[in-house]
């Protein structure tokens, strides 16, 4: 029999997997580098955090939960900063954003 904790953890992990798959779809479907990186950056951050929270719920209160909390905190900081740094580097090297009417790259 399933407990409430298992159901909540499963929903959180499935939600995280959904957002990660959505990021992959954005990576494959969007027209240029900037929109692709935006889709993957946002969806991966949320997807990874939901998976980690699901693992925290499943694990219960322990030392592993504290480690997962610090990992989640690091992901919240590192993913947006990394995405911004990659976009800024691409812009400074001269990669122009896609405009409507142009051919997809």
Reported as a single tens digit per residue, the pLDDT across 66-94 is 999 999 999 999 999 999 999 999 999 99
Give the domain ranges of the chain.
4-92
Q: 43 with 23: CB under 8 angstroms?
A: yes
Cα–Cα distances in angstroms (integers) from residue 45 to residues 9, 79, 81, 98, in the given order: 18, 6, 11, 24
pTM: 0.84
Tens digit of pLDDT for each residue in 26-65? Answer: 999 988 899 999 999 999 999 999 999 999 999 989 999 9
- The CA distances from residue 11 to 18, 58, 63, in Å, are 10, 11, 23
């Amino acid at each position: 029999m399933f407990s409430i904790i298992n159901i909540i953890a499963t929903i959180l992990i499935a939600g995280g997997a959904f957002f990660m798959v959505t990021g992959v779809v954005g990576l494959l479907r969007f027209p240029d580098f900037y929109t692709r990186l935006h889709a993957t950056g946002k969806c991966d951050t949320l997807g990874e955090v939901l998976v980690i929270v699901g693992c925290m719920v499943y694990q219960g209160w322990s030392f592993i939960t504290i480690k997962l909390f610090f990992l989640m905190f690091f992901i919240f900081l590192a993913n947006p900063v990394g995405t911004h740094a990659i976009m800024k580097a691409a812009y400074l090297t001269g990669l122009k954003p896609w405009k409507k009417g142009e051919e997809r790259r």
